Structure 1
């Protein structure tokens, strides 16, 4: 039996609640900090089973034993969630509740490949994930998010590696393992995450109001991610993720990349000396 998390530390605000942001939130919550995460009203999440942002449409969600809940009041409901050992998820993309939450650390984990408004003076320590941030300019610390030798590296001066525009290589596949929308419209899923698929299989279709177009699997593997059905999407956005390694359990657990990034964020916070580790329940 897993004990309820004791979140009694300082407040850490994580912008975004997608896959990589959820790895950060998961690590920090396990470490005992009072984590709050912000999202947009209709988040696009391909690997939604491992995203705390799924709590927005579902009201509650759990990722590897850590629970999150959608909240509306930035103070009262957050306190209730923390006492229950849960991460509160706010729909607040513009950080209107920032002054009320008064976080000691702010982590921009939107992964937009550009800065969408985070400023260094928003918290005593600010951290940006990946391209779009410059340590010492718009944030205090940048965490490298590119797969490879430097994944998770803490950067105290300068920027992360530029956006390559190409998905990381897994089992010899890069762009082939990612499925993109051929046009804008309403996506209708025809397969479920966790299923084994073959190249050419129909994963769903996109209806633009005039005609429907099938979305096909590009390689053989496990369907590790797929947008939820009836999602409204623009053209050329990621809608599916096929894992050629074929391990179904990978669909429901935090990825190695998200764990590495989350652990690096925790290290950066501890290394700064701005916070002491909270007292955890034994």
Structure 2
């Protein structure tokens, strides 16, 4: 691929972790296009670029993002200093835009289509990928000592099925659908809630807060859900501002992505005589 002064990065998955990655790549001068489902199952909607697929536009920590329907539209948004997001579950834009960087932030716990040949630098988040086979580097996503660490050979820690602790709570802070049906919120992100309070409804079934705290995440209204799906997240720390800023975990993972990207970019620029 020909060298570009302003490189393009595609981030597959525009939830809270993918948004942290896109945000930091954007701040470091990359032109960024995010991809996601037509109706993303994103919980932390106030800090997820995927929300623009519902609302047309969102600004996260001062970075605006707008929905596009064709890859070429992203070029015009970049000229207006605006990040772009597109509904593209299979990542067709990777072939059309030929980016320098592809980051798989889908968090499916398995590889759903990313290959090491997608770009000169391919980075994947979390379990389900093998560095050197599926991608060039894997970033550790499990909370703890190795969070955000770059893995150049092998895989990230396996999925434990248990959410990381926030404010001393893990599984109990995650709210799951009690049944199949259409989801509608009854409270708003940032609201203080008490244990047992109704925060949402799925058909005729109320969804109760399992503990007190601040409602940090809530699924978009009108989304079809299945029983057991994560539909909300409660932060027991009780600090509303945490609901409207990128998390420490997302920023740590994004830092690992930047380390991988700039390490590889140095190598390929040197190899191509660009330095």
TM-score band, normalised by shorter chain = over 0.9
Equivalent residue, structure 2, for 1:43: 40
* Partner deviation per Cα, 1:180-208 (whole Å, 9 max, x = no partner): 0111101121111111111100111111x
Note if contact 1:227-1:240 (Cα within 8 Å) is conserved in structure 2: yes
Query: Once the 2 structures are TM-superposed, how far is the Cα of residue 99 of structure 1 from its aligned partner?
Result: 2.0
Structure 1 residues without counterparts, runs of 5 or longer: 1-7, 277-282
Equivalent residue, structure 2, for 1:226: 218
Equivalent residue, structure 2, for 1:147: 143
Large movers: runs of 4+ above 2 Å:
none
Structure 2 residues without counterparts, runs of 5 or longer: 270-275
Equivalent residue, structure 2, for 1:171: 167
TM-score norm. by structure 2 comes to: 0.94
Equivalent residue, structure 1, for 2:235: 243
Note if contact 1:221-1:243 (Cα within 8 Å) is conserved in structure 2: yes
> Which secondary structure state, in structure 1, belongs to the residue aligned with residue 92 of structure 2?
coil
Equivalent residue, structure 2, for 1:103: 99
1:268 and 2:265 aligned: no
What is the alpha-carbon distance in structure 1 between the residues aligned to residue 155 and residue 229 of structure 2?
25
Equivalent residue, structure 2, for 1:4: none
What is the alpha-carbon distance in structure 1 between the residues aligned to residue 222 and residue 71 of structure 2?
29
Equivalent residue, structure 2, for 1:132: 128
Query: Once the 2 structures are TM-superposed, how far is the Cα of residue 275 of structure 1 from its aligned partner?
Result: 6.7
Note if contact 1:119-1:138 (Cα within 8 Å) is conserved in structure 2: yes
Query: Once the 2 structures are TM-superposed, how far is the Cα of residue 97 of structure 1 from its aligned partner?
Result: 2.5
Equivalent residue, structure 2, for 1:19: 16
> Which secondary structure state, in structure 2, belongs to the residue aligned with residue 162 of structure 1?
coil
| Equivalences, count | 265
Query: Once the 2 structures are TM-superposed, how far is the Cα of residue 231 of structure 1 from its aligned partner?
Result: 1.6
* Partner deviation per Cα, 1:143-199 (whole Å, 9 max, x = no partner): 000001100000000000000100001121100000001111011211111111111
Query: Once the 2 structures are TM-superposed, how far is the Cα of residue 274 of structure 1 from its aligned partner?
Result: 4.7
TM-score norm. by structure 1 comes to: 0.91
Note if contact 1:39-1:93 (Cα within 8 Å) is conserved in structure 2: yes
What is the alpha-carbon distance in structure 2 between the residues aligned to residue 157 and residue 182 of structure 1?
40
Equivalent residue, structure 2, for 1:280: none
* Partner deviation per Cα, 1:128-153 (whole Å, 9 max, x = no partner): 10000000111110000000110000
* Partner deviation per Cα, 1:62-100 (whole Å, 9 max, x = no partner): 10000111111212x111011011111111111222222
Give the superposed CA RMSD: 1.3
> Which secondary structure state, in structure 2, belongs to the residue aligned with residue 12 of structure 1?
strand
> Which secondary structure state, in structure 2, belongs to the residue aligned with residue 251 of structure 1?
helix
Query: Once the 2 structures are TM-superposed, how far is the Cα of residue 125 of structure 1 from its aligned partner?
Result: 1.2
1:66 and 2:79 aligned: no
1:254 and 2:250 aligned: no
Equivalent residue, structure 1, for 2:158: 162
> Which secondary structure state, in structure 2, belongs to the residue aligned with residue 138 of structure 1?
coil
1:28 and 2:25 aligned: yes
Equivalent residue, structure 1, for 2:53: 56
Note if contact 1:56-1:89 (Cα within 8 Å) is conserved in structure 2: yes
What is the alpha-carbon distance in structure 1 between the residues aligned to residue 117 and residue 268 of structure 2?
17
Equivalent residue, structure 2, for 1:3: none
Taking a change above 3 Å as real, the CA distance of residues 266 and 275 of structure 1, as seen in their structure-2 partners, is: farther
> Which secondary structure state, in structure 2, belongs to the residue aligned with residue 158 of structure 1?
coil
Alignment of 1:87-98 (within 5 A): 87-98=83-94
Query: Once the 2 structures are TM-superposed, how far is the Cα of residue 228 of structure 1 from its aligned partner?
Result: 1.8
